[in-house]
């Protein structure tokens, strides 16, 4: 066998090895991110309006939670969301909106927010179901279950 043929075979095997390795790496990354859709879409440093737009554009079920950090009912709902939502964090995006943050005013106008706390449950198609006021943990759990189950 000539030196040129050996060199071509080594290059060909290296290319095959790199291709197979790349495919395996890509598969691992896709599988790792598959169960966490909002990690791909949600950027916690982005404004809630941008977070909501990204999640809805990607067809991810989303809970938009509008509240303040000082109303009694809002504080109850903050605790309830903190208690219930983690179970759904891999399949539902959470958009947390403090209504007293001036940066959120365009979003508040867009959704025509009138009362707090308000929860809007967006399905994969972007259709929203609104709940105003305190929600019991078991009711929130059922709403999020329903949201995950909707196709």
Q: Domain coordinates of the chain in residue numbers?
A: 1-34, 41-149
The predicted pLDDT at position 41 comes to 43
Q: What is the pTM of this model?
A: 0.71
Q: Is residue 10 pLDDT above 90, yes or no? A: no
Give the model's confidence band at 45: pLDDT under 50 very low, under 70 low, under 90 confident, else very high.
Answer: confident
At the top level of CATH, which class does the domain 41-149 belong to? alpha beta
The predicted pLDDT at position 89 comes to 95
Q: Is residue 148 pLDDT above 80, yes or no? A: yes
Mean pLDDT of the chain: 83
Radius of gyration of the chain (CA): 23
Strand boundaries in the chain, DSSP class E: 62-67, 93-98, 118-122, 128-132
Q: Is residue 34 pLDDT above 60, yes or no? A: no
pLDDT tens-digit readout, 69-114: 999 999 999 999 999 999 999 999 999 999 999 999 999 999 999 9
The predicted pLDDT at position 4 comes to 58
Burial (CB < 10 A; 0-12, 13-18, 19+), residue 68, is middle
């Amino acid at each position: 066998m000539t030196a040129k043929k050996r060199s071509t075979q080594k290059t060909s095997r290296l290319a095959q090895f790199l291709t197979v390795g790349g495919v395996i790496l890509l598969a691992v990354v896709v599988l790792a991110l598959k169960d966490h859709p909002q990690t791909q879409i949600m950027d916690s440093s982005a404004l809630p309006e941008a977070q909501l737009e990204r999640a809805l554009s990607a067809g991810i079920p989303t809970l938009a939670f509008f509240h303040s950090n000082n109303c009694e009912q809002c504080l109850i709902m903050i605790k309830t969301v903190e208690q219930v939502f983690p179970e759904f964090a891999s399949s539902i995006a959470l958009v947390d909106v403090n209504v007293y943050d001036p940066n959120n005013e365009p979003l508040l106008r867009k959704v025509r927010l009138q009362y707090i706390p308000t929860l809007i449950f967006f399905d994969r198609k972007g259709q929203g179901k609104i709940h105003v006021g305190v929600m019991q943990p078991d009711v929130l759990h059922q709403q999020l279950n329903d949201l995950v189950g909707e196709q």
